Structure 1
């Protein structure tokens, strides 16, 4: 019996998303989060206010944490980002309740500010690496 060795697996040609699908999904998530923030700040009595605001409160810190964890596998990054988003929301709610300053629009503003603060170091690092690559070439 003769063995020829182990053959490498054939490349996987299946695509889960079409080329434009990921961008469309991201644009929809940003739009839904923006609608949730606007509905929270304008104090509109709409049945969509609660779900969109909840989406913003979960997606905003999760996106900021997920951007910082670019070295992890996608599934691990998703789990850690969602757990971090829950932690950020719970800490904001606890701090606002302890200070007797709870309001839905205040909670959205605090979570948005914390998400922005978590995303800024990632943005600065990406801009620095882009500038370094331009200088090198």
Structure 2
């Protein structure tokens, strides 16, 4: 099991692959004490488990825990790449295309740079969304 400093280094290494600067606010806070901050994401290790907690307005929104660091890294980078891809889509929006198409394409590209398995996992999630809500036809 990695310690919190090794986890931080791994996350920054992955962030570097997608051009995310070390001082980006998209990174979580790393807690060596297990304290969770009142807003945003916090990563800590407790009882030989990795934890990734997302807080919004002082309330726990999501809490991922696992013995496998990839179970923490995937939701972290799924969120980070979604944010980056959303900004990219907004700058490159086409009125002729469902905005999700460009957004998800960029997100998958970024996730693939981090880990091909993350890209594959995200693609499956997108495919399940498209079954329920297919791409819109734009004029």
Which has the larger strand fraction? Answer: 2
The answer to which structure has the higher helix fraction is 1
Scaled by the length of structure 2, the TM-score of the pair is 0.29
Length-normalised TM-score, structure 1: 0.29
Bigger radius of gyration, 1 or 2?
A: 1
